[in-house]
Structure 1
Amino acid sequence: MSFDKILGIHAQSLQLHARRAEVLAGNIANADTPGYKARDFDFREMLRQEMPQAVTLRTTQTNHIAPDNGVVSPSEMAYRIPSQASLDGNTVDSQLEHAAYAENAIQYQTSLRFLSGTIQTLKKAITGQ
């Protein structure tokens, strides 16, 4: 049995939640920046893409364009559609961003607690408790 199978989707989930926290914090920080466009990504879709082993791109020549790096690449980010337009072009809805950030934090903690419980169970099994 592999360690990845034991942990399930929670390892990928933690990475995606951490990245989403960064994105949402950036939106909140720029709530008063004229022209700033709020960004986010579809967490469920990104996690679904993480589940099967994705084919990784590789360059075979030095002139090839390098693939996007990171947990969520900039090309996978989307702009939020504002529910109420702002005169200065800013699309950040501060209340929506704070709610999304809080929800993301709770989901992050849930995955972290599940992983912690799984690791504690494995430690007990290894030590024969």
Structure 2
Amino acid sequence: MSIDFTKAVGIHPEALKLRAERTKILASNIANESTPGFQARDMDFASALSERVNADGADGGLSLDTGDDALKYRVPFHPAQDGSTVELGVEQAQFSQNASDFSTSLQFINIQLKGLAKAINGQ
């Protein structure tokens, strides 16, 4: 009898890949906070994850494509005079929440793998 690890850990590996990509996007926004005219970008995580999970069943593989089509421009609460849409507080909050969600998915995978190890060892 074989163990299908993709079923055992659920969607969390795909979530980790998307969270890592979103971390890069948010870090880019923060790094360009003082760049005049820079347009802050972000992804709709829920729809991106849904697409990855649905694509996984269709062609047997995940494609992490967060190109320009997947990224959306962030609408600022208080537009800057230089045309930049980066609001440091918003970006930092999104970055922090994304890091927390990344950690949570990683903990779920860790718990699932520990449970599988116990089952394999007969505990």
What is the letter of the counterpart of residue 6 of structure 1?
Answer: A
What is the letter of the counterpart of residue 53 of structure 2?
Answer: M
CA contact (8 A) 2:17 2:64 kept: no
Residue 54 of structure 2 corresponds to which residue in structure 1? 52
Residue 33 of structure 1 corresponds to which residue in structure 2? 35
Residue 107 of structure 1 corresponds to which residue in structure 2? 101
Between the aligned partners of 2:28 and 2:91, the Cα distance in structure 1 is: 10
Residue 68 of structure 2 corresponds to which residue in structure 1? 74
Residue 2 of structure 1: CA displacement? Answer: 2.2
Q: Which is helix-richer, 1 or 2?
A: 2
Residues 1:17 and 2:19 are matched in the alignment = yes
Between the aligned partners of 1:71 and 1:104, the Cα distance in structure 2 is: 18
Where has structure 1 moved over 4 Å in runs of 4 or more? none
Residue 3 of structure 1: CA displacement? Answer: 1.6
Residue 71 of structure 1: CA displacement? Answer: 4.0
SS at match of 2:51: helix
RMSD: 1.6
Number of aligned residue pairs: 117
Between the aligned partners of 1:40 and 1:49, the Cα distance in structure 2 is: 16
TM-score normalised to structure 1 length = 0.84
CA contact (8 A) 2:25 2:42 kept: yes
Give deviations 1:17-43, integer Å, cap 9, x for gaps: 111111001100100001110000100
Uncovered stretches (5+) of structure 2, i.e. residues with no partner: none
Uncovered stretches (5+) of structure 1, i.e. residues with no partner: 57-68
SS at match of 2:37: coil
Percent identity over the alignment is 38
Give deviations 1:90-129, integer Å, cap 9, x for gaps: 1001000000000000000000000001111111111222
Give deviations 1:68-95, integer Å, cap 9, x for gaps: x744223211111111111111100100
